[in-house]
Amino acid sequence: MFDLGVVRGVFCRMFGLTACILLVAVVAGPRLACGQSVVAVIPQPREMVVEEGNFVLDRATAIVAEGEAVAEADMLAECLAPALGYRLKVVEGHEARDGAVLLLLEKEGSELGAEGYRLEVTPKRIVIRAAQPAGLFYGGQTLRQLLPPAVCESRRVEGVRWLVPCVRIADRPRLAWRGLLLDPARHFLPMDYIKKVIAVMAAHKLNSLQLHLTDDQGWRIEIKKYPKLTELGSWRSETIVERSRDNVPQFDGKRHGGYYSQADIRELVEFARRYHVNLLPEIEMPGHAGAALAAYPELGCFPDRPEPVWTRWGVNPNIFNPSDRTIAFLQDVLGEVMDLFPSKFIHIGGDEAIKDYWQKCPEVQRRIGQLGLKDEAELQSWFIRQMDRFLAEHGRRLVGWDEILQGGLAPGATVMSWHGTEGGIEAAQAGHDVVMAPTTHTYFDYCQGPREKEPKAGGGFLPLERVYGLEPIPPALSGTQRRHVLGAQGQLWGEYIPTTQQADYMLWPRAAALAEVVWSDRSPRDYAGFLRRLGVHRARLDAMSVGYRPWE
């Protein structure tokens, strides 16, 4: 048996630090020497050198911090406390001391940006340095992954020696927008589950959670000025579950619904803030409006023919009439949404707006003529610009799916590109910011294996390896244009996901693969190495009670 420590020392002296890092990853990973802890961090840090020895974390360990760093020290102590069975003491200060974890903000001259960090573990102490509190938080999440996986348990774990391997890590994200989408509009999701997703996201350094709060099948957010949105729009009489051989729809006969009160939303926003996760609200318009129009049919094209909250999947042709009354209504809604969500971005949907009702509606056709527009596509663009202007006046930015490109893009709009990456490329080339969300790599409601062996799902086939193969920045973009790609996002549409257990199954481990795509450097990207680390990471997911899909 060769001495890895000696080999590593000789190799580093001969070939330098970068080669040494590769040696650690290839030869050592994940276990460096007998008795040392497994080192398998997801997402992969930008630079990591593993050295001999361990830091022992125990009751005597204190977390030292001051100023803005104290909140992150408290958060780290809170994350560790359930498994340890005790809470580490947080001590005010800024100097390293033996037997302590020091969180240090160094705002001047840091090349690590708002979310990067440096983590150094020696047998005597642990030091996490960052320019901003978010960096300290992510350094703390990496520290959790250096500890035995049982540290992720929500209850006290007996008989574990809490060893942290000695490492030097310099890390920062590749992309700023690292997101997931949950869809409580189709099947309502309880508050506790959303909180769980936020906590598990943060452990993977994902930082944006889009909540699809409205659709044809349900309205999920309390709007005080328009109470019928939740009184009527948040419930449907039943749900389609399948179709018979002769294509006749079969329904479950059960009432479905629920909504989040404004107090619920404030609670979720505060919970997410502590985990450095931005909650992005989505209020669909002008299409996917069935639940809102069931509550307020006068906002539709044919108010004399009201329709109930939709009980099917697919795309409902019922659509908002873009009248002055409707625009005022929707801007009232967005006003209350902005009061609840501090997010710089507000998502207005804009996708799959079938124009059949607009084509048949005399009032809509008169409006097209009055505005001097060419067709319904230009009318949608005009409508989106009204929302873009309204949000901009309130210091917010509009986000929409890539259909908002049709008829011309509103000046301040950010495009979420789901029809492949083409819409994102077009928007970035025109100087607009982009979030990549292509169906080919990020639709987590798609099957993960042969359809006959998987739970019922929408769409196509999306295995783990394909998610890991996503490249969010297309080569077609120039250097300047590439800066408009904010990041990427995974979508969990809820039509065929009636339980939180199935939501976990569809999200993980694919969301872990996406986390590495958006955080870690593009090169080297090593799927086999990711799978090896994921093998260790499995125990962490188990400890966090994540009901992931098993992988080979």
Predicted pLDDT of residue 30: 39
The model carries a pTM of 0.93
Predicted pLDDT of residue 31: 42
CA distance 383 to 165: 56
Beta strand residue intervals within 335-437, DSSP E? 345-349, 397-401, 414-417, 434-436
Positive or negative torsion for Cα 86, 89, 90, 94: negative
Q: Give residue 258's region: left, alpha or beta (phi > 0; psi -120 to 50).
A: left
pLDDT band at 124 (very low <50, low <70, confident <90, very high): very high
Contact 322, 286 (CB under 8 A): yes
Predicted pLDDT of residue 407: 84
Checking if the pLDDT of 13 tops 60, the result is: no
Checking if the pLDDT of 242 tops 80, the result is: yes
pLDDT band at 107 (very low <50, low <70, confident <90, very high): confident
Contact 319, 353 (CB under 8 A): yes
Amino acid at 90: V
Checking if the pLDDT of 10 tops 80, the result is: no
Predicted pLDDT of residue 197: 98
pLDDT band at 37 (very low <50, low <70, confident <90, very high): low
Q: Which run of H or E residues covers position 541?
A: helix 527-543
Predicted pLDDT of residue 257: 97
Mean pLDDT of 27-52: 72
Q: To which residue do tokens 């801007």 refer?
A: 331
pLDDT band at 19 (very low <50, low <70, confident <90, very high): very low
Beta strand residue intervals within 264-331, DSSP E? 278-285
Instruction: Report the catalytic residues.
Output: 215, 288, 352
pLDDT band at 114 (very low <50, low <70, confident <90, very high): very high
Closest CA to 252 of 187, 335, 161, 164: 187
Q: Which residues of 145-171 are buried (b: 16+ CB within 10 A; e: fewer)?
A: bbbbbbbbbeeebeeeebbbbbbbbbb
Of 171-180, 198-207, 244-253, 321-330, where does mean pLDDT reach its minimum? 244-253
User: How would you classify the pairing of strands 249-251 and 240-243?
Assistant: antiparallel
Predicted pLDDT of residue 25: 40
Q: 20: how many CB neighbours lie within 10 A of its CB?
A: 18
What percent of the chain is predicted at pLDDT more than 70?
A: 93
Q: Residue 403 carries which DSSP code?
A: G
CA distance 214 to 493: 12
pLDDT band at 109 (very low <50, low <70, confident <90, very high): low
| Average pLDDT in the chain | 92
Q: To which residue do tokens 């309390």 refer?
A: 222
Of 18-32, 285-299, 400-414, 497-511, where does mean pLDDT reach its minimum? 18-32
Predicted pLDDT of residue 484: 97
CA distance 551 to 511: 13
Checking if the pLDDT of 4 tops 50, the result is: no
CA distance 385 to 396: 13
Q: What are phi and psi of 466, to 5 degrees?
A: -70, -40
Predicted pLDDT of residue 384: 96
Predicted pLDDT of residue 18: 40
CA distance 468 to 475: 17
CA distance 223 to 124: 54
Of 2-16, 31-45, 481-495, where does mean pLDDT reach its minimum? 2-16
pLDDT band at 408 (very low <50, low <70, confident <90, very high): confident
